[in-house]
């Protein structure tokens, strides 16, 4: 049975699956991070690695609470109610991420309970590439087989540290992060270009729903930046997503990362929304 919490915010159970599905269908691009798990696991809390919360049975607000807090829908009043319920619990999430229209109001209500944040990124353009890549794909970019994990992992760690601002190996000496990267490689969702033994470009499909592929972890070796590697590399990943898995390529990027945004624009990405992230 769902657990009743303050001001009508409550955990959602199997009876609310239809409401969750409606929330995800309302914006398939923004919901991709959650839709992949929901499509595979339904409302099974253990398999999901978290649980859905809602207001009015999910009619007025829906959010996923797992390793991260990802709000999907919510009126201003409902977000306040949701925050009241979540704020009664100790924070266990590593970040809040999703549409800025839900993340920022929710954080405004939660900051006094969960703050301070390590970083707040309020303006992260959410992009999609609906047409064919506008630049020629780099034919040297390919799916990375799992046996090359030890060659791929240092670049993944460098990207994460540079982008998120923390070492993903802290705490458990990198066991969890290594497993996550290996899992993506086993699924064929890690891509790279090598110059000899040196990895110079990488990107991953971080989430893969029935409609959308969310690209993450885009990185160019600092010694190779400024050589026009990123756009053709991204074009190769986009082509694979479109032709290989039949999904809509998407990603979100920091507003101030002008070099990356320019590369994505050259490939053919355009903005369809705005994400925000709160990092703890």
| Average pLDDT over every residue of 229-257 | 97
Q: What is the pTM of this model?
A: 0.93
| 28-73 pLDDT, tens digit each | 999 999 999 999 999 999 999 999 999 999 999 999 999 999 999 9
Q: Which residues of 102-132 are buried (b: 16+ CB within 10 A; e: fewer)?
A: bbbbbbebbeeebeebeebbeebbbbbbeee
| 136 — pLDDT class (breaks 50, 70, 90) | very high
Percent of the chain with pLDDT over 90: 93
Residue 109 has pLDDT above 90, yes or no: yes
State residue 204 phi and psi, 5-degree precision: -135, 155
| 8 — pLDDT class (breaks 50, 70, 90) | confident
In CATH terms, the superfamily for domain 142-273 is Gcn5-related N-acetyltransferase (GNAT) (3.40.630.30)
Residue 156 has pLDDT above 60, yes or no: yes
Q: Give me the pLDDT at residue 2, please.
A: 43
| Longest CA–CA separation in the chain, Å | 59
Q: Which two tokens stand for residue 2?
A: 């769902």
Distance (Å, whole) CA 69 – CA 77: 18
What is the residue extent of each domain of the chain? 6-116, 142-273
């Amino acid at each position: 049975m769902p657990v009743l919490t303050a001001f009508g915010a409550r955990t959602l159970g199997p009876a609310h699956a239809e409401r969750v599905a409606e929330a995800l269908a309302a914006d398939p691009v923004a919901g991709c991070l959650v839709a992949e798990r929901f499509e595979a696991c339904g409302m099974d809390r253990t398999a999901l690695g978290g649980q859905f919360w809602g207001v009015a049975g999910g009619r007025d607000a829906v959010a996923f609470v797992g390793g991260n807090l990802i709000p999907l829908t919510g009126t201003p009043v409902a977000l306040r109610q949701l925050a009241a319920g979540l704020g009664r619990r100790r924070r266990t999430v590593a970040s809040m991420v999703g549409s800025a229209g839900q993340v920022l109001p929710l954080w405004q209500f939660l900051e006094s309970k969960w703050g301070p944040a390590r970083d707040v990124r309020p303006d992260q353009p959410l992009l999609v590439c609906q047409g064919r890549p506008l630049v020629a794909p780099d034919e040297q970019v390919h799916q990375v087989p799992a046996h090359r994990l030890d060659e791929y992992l240092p670049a993944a760690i460098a990207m994460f540290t540079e982008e998120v601002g923390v070492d993903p190996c802290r705490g458990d000496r990198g066991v969890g992060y290594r497993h996550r990267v290996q899992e993506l490689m086993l699924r064929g969702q890690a891509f790279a270009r090598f110059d000899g033994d040196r990895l110079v470009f990488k990107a991953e499909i971080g989430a893969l729903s029935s409609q959308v592929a969310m690209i993450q972890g885009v990185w160019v070796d600092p010694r190779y930046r400024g050589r026009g590697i990123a756009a053709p590399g991204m074009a190769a990943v986009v082509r694979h997503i479109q032709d290989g898995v039949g999904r809509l390529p998407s990603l979100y990027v920091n507003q101030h990362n002008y070099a990356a945004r320019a590369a994505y624009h050259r490939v053919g990405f355009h903005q369809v929304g705005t994400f925000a992230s709160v990092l703890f």
